[in-house]
């Protein structure tokens, strides 16, 4: 079983990391809130080792997970559920570009790992080549003309996706956003401009932390959800057994 070096032998750290994924990106049976919403296709951009994708696979018919780091991708494959498709690609606003993926070194082990790996930031000395893909090509891979849920956590590339891609064929978006590289101005102003544009494009947007937002296409009657403390406790109680069982199954396989 291939895992991040810093997690080996530390089950509680695995659980803490997985819970972070669960709590950062709202997930549920959204079709209960709006019967016109299909629980068919979920796309995970910046999948890492698959915490969110594994959760989404419980709800959606198909999950497409994109992770550019080769080392992390090997772990993602190990954790993939039967209804998950995994791709060793970086999502951007173009398909077919060769990009440098820069990664940091784990402070506890001194070894290379892909936490916060980015194709737009110079984060460390470790680099590898990766290929980019855009949303139009992802629709082709998914064999659909609509993405029901789009999760984005791609360390700076989110601006290329959110600002320069057609999002009209996306139902729900949950994303982490950062200060874009080589941009002038303060983060709050740039973030406000992004949210204003998304609202102008027909999305209801809820900013529920400094760097995270949840957005709903206005064609659906689904409230923008925010996880309060009671909600967080419920999610932790519900998904911890699922994570532990999947972890044991795959490590013993």
Nearest to 53 by CA among 23, 17, 22, 16: 22
Between strands 170-176 and 62-66, the pairing is: unpaired
Q: What is the mean pLDDT of residues 66-72?
A: 86
What six digits make up the tokens of 150? 């789009």
pLDDT, one tens digit per residue, over 137-170 is 999 999 999 999 999 988 778 888 888 888 999 9
| CA pseudo-torsion sign 194, 199, 203, 204 | positive
What pLDDT shows up at residue 123?
53
Put simply, whether the predicted model's pTM sits higher than 0.85 gets the answer no
Provide the token pair at 170: 């996306």
Position 75 scores a pLDDT of 80
Give me the residue spans of the domains in the chain.
41-92+134-248
User: Which residue, 65, 69, 72, is CA-closest to 101?
Assistant: 69
Give Cα 249 to chain centroid, integer Å. 24
- Containing 1, the helix (H) or strand (E) segment is none
Q: In whole angstroms, give the CA distance from residue 23 to residue 163.
A: 25
The pLDDT tens digits for 2-58 are: 333 434 444 555 555 555 666 678 787 888 888 999 999 999 999 888 888 988 998
The superfamily (CATH) of domain 41-92+134-248 is Vaccinia Virus protein VP39 (3.40.50.150)
């Amino acid at each position: 079983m291939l895992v991040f070096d810093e997690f080996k032998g530390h089950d509680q750290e695995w659980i803490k990391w997985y819970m972070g994924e669960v709590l950062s990106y709202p997930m549920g049976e959204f079709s209960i809130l709006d019967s016109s919403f299909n629980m068919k296709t979920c796309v995970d951009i910046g999948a890492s080792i698959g915490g969110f994708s594994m959760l989404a696979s419980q709800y959606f018919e198909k999950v497409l997970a994109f992770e550019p780091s080769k080392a992390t991708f090997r772990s993602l494959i190990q954790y993939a559920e039967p209804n998950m498709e995994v791709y060793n690609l970086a999502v951007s606003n173009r398909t077919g570009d060769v990009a440098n993926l820069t990664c940091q070194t784990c402070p506890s082990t001194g070894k290379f790992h892909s936490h916060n790996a980015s194709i737009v930031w110079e984060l460390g000395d470790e680099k590898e080549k990766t290929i980019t893909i855009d949303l139009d090509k992802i629709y082709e891979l998914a064999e659909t003309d609509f993405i029901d849920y789009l999760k984005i956590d791609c360390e700076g590339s989110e601006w290329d996706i959110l600002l320069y891609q057609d999002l009209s064929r996306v139902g729900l978006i949950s994303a982490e956003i950062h200060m874009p590289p080589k941009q002038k101005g303060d983060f709050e102003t740039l973030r406000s401009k992004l949210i204003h544009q998304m609202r102008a494009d027909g999305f209801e947007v809820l900013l529920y932390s400094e760097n995270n937002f949840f957005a709903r296409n206005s064609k659906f009657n689904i409230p923008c959800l925010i996880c309060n403390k009671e909600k967080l406790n419920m999610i932790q109680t519900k998904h911890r057994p699922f994570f532990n069982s999947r972890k044991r199954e795959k490590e013993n396989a």
